[in-house]
Structure 1
Amino acid sequence: MVRLVLALATALVAPMVMAPTAAYAGDGRRDLQRRLDEVVPAGAVGVLAEVRTERGVWRGSSGVAELGTSREVPARGSFRAGSVMKSFLATVVLQLVGERRLRLEDTIETWLPGVVPGGDRITLRQLLDHTSGLYDVVRTLPLPPDPAFVDNRWRTWTTTELVERGLAQPPTHAPGTAFSYTSTGYLLLAQVVEKVTRQTYATEIERRIIEPLRLRSTVLPGASPWIRGPHPHGYVPVETRNEGGTELVDVTEMNPSLFGAAGEVISTARDLNRFFAALLGGRLIDGQLQEEMKTPGVADATYGLGLRWEDTTCGVRVYGHDGDAVAYQTWSFTTADGRRQATVALSRSFEGDPEDAVAEFIDRAVCG
């Protein structure tokens, strides 16, 4: 998955409060728009963003919502947020820990006996912080520019199928000895949640997070291929079978079971900002579990229990997650006090790499 390298400025130390509802104005608004415009030529068809600071709320977009048209990207539009979903699932797991229905040091063998070879040596903590050593199922799947990705775009994948694909490969390292990002671990965590609660992981995320926070535009679509409401289109490059080149194919509509519990979520910038503000503000898990979430599994890692962070050049640490849903990329980060937030989502053009331009936008959004 993509990594975000930011350079943010002064952090605030006051207690977390919900962002104000006033709008940006003047030079600040124009500067944010100018920097967002720079993301498109760096590698996006279209991009949208929402910024929340003590100065107010700013929403903007750039590029086009659909190739071949001049239709603007809806700033409040929905998108596939990919692995940002890992923060949602991790929060549910930690809530179950807080309820004493799970322990972070429980082994996967305890809850899913016989499923994972060597599962008696892999803990839930190691699944959450990507130190389990389990092979990443994503690396076993047909992905662009392989035409098989488009051929399978309507296929329904089960969690069990995806887990089996990942477990069929040898581990990358011994449990707890290194960081290696793997969606396989989060698919297993979803199965643990279902074993403990006797509900689907989607039901638990909806009941515990989406409904209480009123994330009205956040959806776990399962096998439904649609993105409801206004949204930008998403594209992938696909090899042309007879001509040897590639062409962009619109895959806005696709079966998201390919991502499953590790990344099927559809959301908006507003909802993601609201979620991370609530998470870091103690509305979803208590302070002790927040500290667990911010603790890396191995030295020098920048990933804890479903939460990523970056130390900036000015010493500010921001928390959140990024997501790659093949045709869409998302970044959602906030300061520890929740006062400064920025979420950016784009549909990729696959011409260049937009990460640096996104980092510069977030830098200005949080530091401005």
Structure 2
Amino acid sequence: MRRRRGVFAAAMAAVAVAGLTLTDVASAGALDNRSRPVQDKTLQADMDALVSDGSLPGMLMSVRDRNGRVTNYTAGVGDIRTKSKVPTDGYVRIASNTKMFVAVAILQLADEGKLALDDTVEKFLPGVVRGTGDGAAVDGRNITIRQLLNHTSGMSSTVPALSKGILPIKDRYFDARELLDAALTQAPTFVPGQNRVWSYSNNGYILLGLVAQKVAGRPLAEVITERIINRIGLKETYYPGPGDRDIRTPHPQGYLGSVDDQGKPIAGKLTDITRFDPSVAGAAGQMIATPSDINKFLVALQDGRLIKPSRLAEMRQTVEAPTPVASWQRYGLGTFEMKLSCGITAYGHGGDADGFQTRAAITPDGRAVTLAGTNDEVKLFEVIDFFDKALCATK
């Protein structure tokens, strides 16, 4: 979640999937722990340039080639106070990348016949989704699971708890129902599904999390852990539990730009925001992982270990998504379609938690890239350009 504008939906709204023929990348699993001995010098130089002025203190990236070989990169410093190195493949807050995990859990429940994507929210949470005040038009009887997944529900993305930024509430725990009740006071962006309009909504995913745990009969963190994390052996990915404000080690520190009493940026001054309670993001962006583990997730999703190929194709059926990123303007079910500069289409997401910006995607032939920067407020488009270059590289 961003302290001023909510989860940067991406510089993914500004973040970002069309039914492609699936490419077999199952062989990658046998090489999970191998690292490439030689890095791409151009990528390393470009990453070094991104951190050179200090506004983005550190970056880390994991690249998994189509054969499953892994190369990890770092640049800058992991802590501006101690000048320590950025930990290779360290833990970071993955923010809106969490939405991919939530979407997969929902699609798994659909595969099991426990829900249908065109069911209304009312079927599972009767009487719960009724807007009040400015949000009076929000009604769970008119919102489907599919509309929540692809952000065509019309629900607002404004998270009232973040109206004054993260700092006043950084140690505050928020229950998902509390977040939803606050969201239901916000006017909808449009009538649900109207002309397949798209508007990124963190609140929609908070609601999806409540649907998932109601249908599964277990807390959302447990649903994601058992159905995804444990199932494919992600040892460095987790959904923080109640009260968990820290990040597992090793990790770089995350930073915010500092502002004066009038809210104006103070040049060269950063505030450490590594430690805060991520419950304010909930199902929209609470998770933590390492870049290489996110790549493993992307491979498992693409090669059929998490959902059926037919469901993956459905996940990649997209609607127009007018984001500030020209190449990321279509959205599927919890995933962006990314038209890369090299002519390839990649699929993934990204997100911005206070202190961290992350981008993750996979190409049809199985090249996966996940990167993170340790300030979520600077060089957003420069980082996306670099991300594009990393996905297009051949080494």
TM over 0.5: yes
Compute the displacement of 1:240 (Å): 3.7
Which residue of 276, 291, 298 corresponds with 1:269?
Answer: 291
Matched, 1:319 2:347: yes
Identity %: 35
Q: 1:318 to 1:349 in 2, by over 3 A?
A: closer
Q: Which residue of 2 aligns with 1:149?
A: 166
Give a deviation string over 1:107-157, Cα, whole Å, max 9, x none: 01111112223221110000000000001133x3336xx4x5312110001
Number of the residue aligned with 1:347: 374
Mapped to 1, the partners of 2:358 and 2:376 lie a distance apart of 14
SS in 2 for 1:141: helix
8 Å CA contact 1:341–1:366 kept in 2: the answer is no
Instruction: Report what 1:332 is aligned to.
Output: 360
Corresponding residue for residue 3 of structure 2: none
Establish whether residue 16 from structure 1 lines up as the match of residue 25 from structure 2.
Answer: yes
| Aligned-partner Cα distance in 2 for 1:129–1:48 | 29
Change in Cα spacing, 1:141 to 1:353, as seen in structure 2 (3 Å) is farther
Deviations 1:50-82 (A, max 9, x none): 111147321010010011222110112000000
What is the CA–CA distance in structure 2 between the aligned matches of 1:126 and 1:325, rounded to whole Å?
Answer: 24
Alignment RMSD = 2.5
Q: Which of the residues 170, 173, 179 maps onto 2:190?
A: 173
Q: Structure 1 residue 237: deviation in Å? A: 2.7
Matched ranges for 1:155-166 at <5 A? 155-166=172-183
**Kindly tell me: are residues 218 and 41 of structure 1, through their superposed partners in 2, closer, same or farther at Cα, counting changes over 3 Å?**
same
Aligned partner (choices 50, 56, 59) of residue 47 of structure 1:
59
Q: Which residue in 2 is equivalent to 1:234?
A: 254
- CA contact under 8 A between 1:106 and 1:123: conserved in structure 2? yes
* Structural mapping, 1:67-86, within 5 Å: 67-86=80-99
* Equivalent residue for 2:318, pick from 296, 310, 317: 296
Q: What stretches of structure 1 of length at least 5 have no aligned partner?
A: none
Question: What is the identity, as a one-letter code, of the residue corresponding to 1:190?
Answer: G
CA contact (8 A) 1:45 1:348 kept: yes
Deviation for aligned residue 1:32: 2.3
Residue 212 of structure 1: how far off its partner (Å): 1.5
Q: Which SS does the other structure have where 2:350 is aligned?
A: strand
SS at match of 1:114: coil
Distance 2:169 2:156 in 1: 22
- Alpha-carbon shift at residue 299 of structure 1 (Å): 8.2
Offset at 1:353? Answer: 1.6
Further displaced range: 158-167 or 305-314: 305-314
Rounded to whole Å, the distance in 2 between the matches of 1:243 and 1:99 is 50
With normalisation by structure 1, the TM-score equals 0.89
**Is residue 36–residue 361 contact of structure 1 (8 Å, CA) maintained in 2?**
no
Give the Cα separation in 2 of the matches to 1:235 and 1:154: 16
Q: 1:34 is matched with which residue?
A: 45
Provide the secondary structure at the position in 2 that maps to 1:170: coil
Q: Which consecutive unaligned segments of at least 5 residues does structure 2 have?
A: 1-8, 131-138, 323-328
Does structure 2 conserve the Cα–Cα contact (< 8 Å) formed by 1:190 and 1:201? yes
Q: How many pairs does the alignment contain? A: 357
1:259 aligns with 2:272: no
How big is the shift at 1:244?
A: 6.6
Spell out the pairing of 1:88-237 with structure 2 (5 A cutoff): 88-117=101-130, 118-138=139-159, 140-142=160-162, 146=164, 149-177=166-194, 178-222=197-241, 223-237=243-257
Partner SS, residue 117 of structure 2: coil
**Deviation readout 1:248-274 (Å, 9 max, x if unpaired):** 221111111111111110000111000
Amino acid in the other structure paired with 2:281: F
Offset, 1:197: 1.5
Name the residue aligned to 2:392: 366
Cα shift at 1:18 = 4.2
1:79/1:267 contact within 8 Å kept: yes
Counterpart of 1:126, as a letter, is: Q
TM-score, scaled to structure 2 = 0.84
Aligned partner of residue 179 in structure 1, secondary structure:
coil
